[in-house]
Amino acid sequence: MEEYVNKLRIEYMLYSPQGVDPWVEVRFRDDRGSEVAHINIRWDQNRLYAYFTGAKEKAERLASILNALGASVEASEYGRYQRVVLYTDSITAIRRKEWLEAVKALVEELYRRGLINEEKRDRLLAEINAGPNTIEIAGVELNVQQKIR
């Protein structure tokens, strides 16, 4: 699955209509340009979250793609549909450049629209840049990396 996912192109579109909180729609496309999955990333007043609700096959395909990219997610029942949900930690676990650009675009738009302050923007951008292996102990950020020899 990883080989397949590495060939996928990730595209995003930032939506920011008046009177509605902005969001990013991320699309995964195969080598022919056909969409194979998509997910929306939004802000819920204190954290980023990404979600998809739809047919079981599509939700399972999306979950497989996201897991191969580094997230830890699964499709679950949501009424008659299946749902895939990620929060900030899983969102930042995905290290593909195009994905990170989409998330950063949303954070910058949230700041531009006054939905988050500068401190929150800087904190989110630091989390996005550092990834999930960064921990904070007594105000000091440590980045944990494993070297394979």
pLDDT tens column, 67-102:
999 999 999 999 999 999 999 889 999 999 999 999
- pLDDT for 137: 66
- pLDDT for 6: 85
Query: Distance between CA atoms of 139 and 149, rounded to whole angstroms?
Result: 31
Q: What 3-state class would DSSP assign to 98?
A: helix
Nearest to 103 by CA among 78, 82, 128: 128
Contact 41, 106 (CB under 8 A): yes
Mean pLDDT computed over 10-25: 96
